[in-house]
Structure 1
């Protein structure tokens, strides 16, 4: 409804000049009024679907009236349809083709009708001011509206993205908490199982106490499995690890594990205490390696080797455990009696061996039982700027090697979001259209002025009579003998303010005595084809 009211108002406004200039009382006719009103109505009706068609029709109606194009009846329509074409047309190539076609048709009509180039220059000026300039303004308004819409769409999209980011952050934080629970609680439960296993085979305890220790060990193992299942539900794939430093240092972690009964041997350089992401990654790698060794190869010796590469920017930690033992009963519930299970290798405090189910080696146990553990460790180490290697050792054990830098890598700057790039592109287009709306009309006016000046100089030079040639003209000679010394074209009319022509002359011709000045001029009068007088006037 709003668009229809706008089109109706535009049609009524454009009909006003037609009614005023085509009034029968003012020399017009009602036929002209009816045709003009009908043409403008049709142009307004199709202007939304075909924006260039009304402009072409208005030009076609104006050219028969005058080659200068600028008519009182349709000048307002030219400006209005030029603006609407720029405002509604998506592509600009068709408009430029139309402007060029109008200029070419005007030149052809000028030569066809035998008129001078003056009306064609006026036509070019009318196209530049009444059509091209409004069209460029319409293009600028279109791009500005697009920029405003892009801004509002960007704001709405940012609000939705912020809500989505908040939801993702909540889920990611839950996943991080789940990862920490798996790493820390799983490690602690594994150590509890190791201690309970040692108590289960301690001969100083009675059968009831050993049975209770076995129940405790099995409960800890079952809790570890249930924890892993629950964490697997909460965990999100490719979750970035927390960047806060661990609360427990790596030396404290090794000491606590050794005190729990794990047969750990530390070799190489002193254990470093790295800050930030490298320290967190190294702590988690060692913690996961000890947890898996205690769970899948209980009683197997564990060797932790620390290497600091020169010049001291990289730290490598290698955790290797031997294969699981073959005792008849282990803390994982293997077959055997409750009382005859021998003690582990840690001097009476280690966990009993034989935890691996029959037919599965310690090396494959790590790879299959950890699920996404190794994948998560690899991602954690990668984000810290290091690398992770793991695999079975030749003796049937398992080796986990982590290499991390002493300092966390500098994060690369985030790329600009797509919405920001779209908004920046829209702004550049608006600026370009604004510049075009300013400099293109100016450039057209400058070019048109230069063209008019060049044509004027060329035209005037064709009617310029040189003084030497004027001196050679003799009164009484026929025109045929004088034509070689005369220019190709005389002036079309006599300049104002000159004396009257001789009454006895049949014809007088005027030539410029200078190229640029209108006066003085040479006047040559002829009677019966002979020169009867020559004068320099003005």
Structure 2
């Protein structure tokens, strides 16, 4: 037996003990006791897979038992209450649909009211309705409240689960971010190695080759130069292999010297056939880091212009002010059909990152003065601290907020819904009490005008439409065969006595004033104490 089944057995045994104890004390038949225990067993077994059905197996029989055994000593109206509360809580924990739960509870309460009105017709309708409203209030406390608490606990569990999932996602995002930082650093190292070390190795190989063919050197020195050139070539080749490992897979190795200026870059692009011209303003020298960043922006922009705007004229405007360096690359738009060219789509993003690292900013988009494209970069002349990257709100944070709002709504619902329902039912009951109270007022003058021996028709003509719904019938003994009615001398909450009229064989046989509270009745114009006229 698993722990789960052991828990089911213990729950069933505890709930069944209450049923057997109450049913045995009421001397119920064994079939009723056995049927209740069987219903509890089925409800406990279904509480995980079909929680609403499990709740229905106890709440509907409870409505039937309470409706049939009203004012009797039979049935188990109390023993089923712990089962209802427990299964309602478990149904809420399983996040059952609200509309189905409301339909089940409402249907059971309406069944209870129907049974009382049909089976106990001798009881006044007002008494049955008031008693039913009391049952509704009990249902709110014993059934609806546990369900709402279970629903709130389910929302809390969901929030906790979402928190752990968010923590795992944060860890994965941190690992990915670290990997990206490593890749960027590897790419930066590769660029530095190619731009500096590779260039120097090329110069060493070039000078060694010149020494190799110098006729004035001895043969021994020329052989050493040959070995030096071969070693430089080997080092350059191995450097290329290392760069291939460190560089991003889609990146291309630079093929220009590390000290190439923007003017030289523009001249080289013009020599290759691109219609480009350079406009320079100012003479302030930027820092090496800023100079390389500007060079990279111009290089990438010219490459993009040649790819995406064939035939366009490109103007590179470089302004070297005292405090900042501004470069603008603008083209006039393509003059020939643009063929589809492969692109990774990350070139501009890489430029923006590079400019950001030296404290500047970069914008790119449609040129405001032409149909072409424009790239504008502004960088402090001596560089600066990189601007912080804008924090993009993650989908995990949005999901966490949604779960928190659900849990908050669940808590508010768990507190306000029962209170609202109780207030609504209380308002209805109070309204009904007031309506019935003011419609059961028999004015003292009309009461005094009644005489013992009058027939029922004559008396009924002056009686109000309704009787008291809270008569003090327990304070007097009603003789056998008499039918007594109670009326108010004034509106609700303002009296301490009531009028009692008793009929026998359609004749008024007695009229009394009956105390309704702890204060002795003292109506105006009468002597204190109950009043009674003899029987004719």
TM-score with structure 1 length normalisation? 0.66
SS in 2 for 1:446: helix
CA contact under 8 A between 2:442 and 2:464: conserved in structure 1? yes
C-alpha distance after superposition, 1:241-263 (max 9, x if no partner): xxxxxxx9x9x8659x99xxxxx
Q: Which residue number in structure 2 is paired with residue 350 of structure 1?
A: none
Match of 2:377 among 404, 409, 420: 404
Match of 1:93 among 99, 109, 117: 99
Distance 1:307 1:436, change over 3 A: same
Distance (Å, rounded) in 2 between the aligned partners of 1:129 and 1:490: 31
Does residue 83 (structure 1) correspond to residue 89 (structure 2)? The answer is: yes
Shift in Å, 1:283: 4.2
RMSD, aligned α-carbons: 5.4
Shift in Å, 1:80: 0.9
Distance 1:501 1:62, change over 3 A: closer
Match of 1:179 among 180, 187, 191: 191
Distance (Å, rounded) in 2 between the aligned partners of 1:269 and 1:43: 87
Q: Which residue number in structure 2 is paired with residue 381 of structure 1?
A: 351
Distance 1:266 1:109, change over 3 A: closer
Distance (Å, rounded) in 2 between the aligned partners of 1:18 and 1:525: 43
Shift in Å, 1:289: 11
Match of 2:319 among 308, 317, 322: 308
Distance (Å, rounded) in 2 between the aligned partners of 1:8 and 1:62: 22
Q: Which residue number in structure 1 is paired with residue 527 of structure 2?
A: none
Q: Which residue number in structure 2 is paired with residue 351 of structure 1?
A: none
Q: Which residue number in structure 2 is paired with residue 354 of structure 1?
A: none
Shift in Å, 1:135: 1.0
Shift in Å, 1:125: 1.6
The unaligned stretches of length 5 or more in structure 2 are 252-256, 266-270, 272-276, 303-314, 331-341, 356-360, 366-373, 515-520, 522-536
Q: Which residue number in structure 2 is paired with residue 395 of structure 1?
A: none
Distance 1:108 1:213, change over 3 A: farther
CA contact under 8 A between 1:315 and 1:403: conserved in structure 2? yes
Q: Which residue number in structure 1 is paired with residue 78 of structure 2?
A: 72
The unaligned stretches of length 5 or more in structure 1 are 240-247, 259-263, 291-303, 320-370, 390-400
Does residue 463 (structure 1) correspond to residue 440 (structure 2)? The answer is: yes
Distance 1:197 1:378, change over 3 A: farther
Distance (Å, rounded) in 2 between the aligned partners of 1:506 and 1:146: 65
Distance (Å, rounded) in 2 between the aligned partners of 1:500 and 1:204: 147
SS in 2 for 1:49: coil
Does residue 4 (structure 1) correspond to residue 16 (structure 2)? The answer is: no
Distance (Å, rounded) in 2 between the aligned partners of 1:317 and 1:185: 31
Distance 1:160 1:509, change over 3 A: closer
C-alpha distance after superposition, 1:308-337 (max 9, x if no partner): 299987612789xxxxxxxxxxxxxxxxxx
Does residue 236 (structure 1) correspond to residue 279 (structure 2)? The answer is: no
Shift in Å, 1:120: 1.3
Distance (Å, rounded) in 2 between the aligned partners of 1:377 and 1:387: 13
Distance 1:55 1:289, change over 3 A: closer
Distance 1:180 1:84, change over 3 A: same
SS in 1 for 2:66: coil
Distance 1:175 1:526, change over 3 A: same
CA contact under 8 A between 1:378 and 1:387: conserved in structure 2? no
Distance (Å, rounded) in 2 between the aligned partners of 1:469 and 1:404: 101
Q: Which residue number in structure 2 is paired with residue 322 of structure 1?
A: none
Shift in Å, 1:60: 1.7
Shift in Å, 1:187: 5.2
Distance 1:500 1:22, change over 3 A: closer
SS in 2 for 1:515: coil
Q: Which residue number in structure 2 is paired with residue 352 of structure 1?
A: none
Q: How many pairs are equivalent?
A: 449
CA contact under 8 A between 1:278 and 1:381: conserved in structure 2? no
Structural mapping, 1:6-21, within 5 Å: 6-21=7-22
C-alpha distance after superposition, 1:385-431 (max 9, x if no partner): 43689xxxxxxxxxxx9741135885553223333333333333223
CA contact under 8 A between 1:278 and 1:405: conserved in structure 2? no
C-alpha distance after superposition, 1:202-229 (max 9, x if no partner): 99999x9999999999998998788667
Q: Which residue number in structure 1 is paired with residue 110 of structure 2?
A: 104
Distance (Å, rounded) in 2 between the aligned partners of 1:30 and 1:306: 102
Shift in Å, 1:494: 5.9
TM-score with structure 2 length normalisation? 0.66
SS in 2 for 1:102: helix
CA contact under 8 A between 1:106 and 1:123: conserved in structure 2? no
CA contact under 8 A between 1:238 and 1:376: conserved in structure 2? no
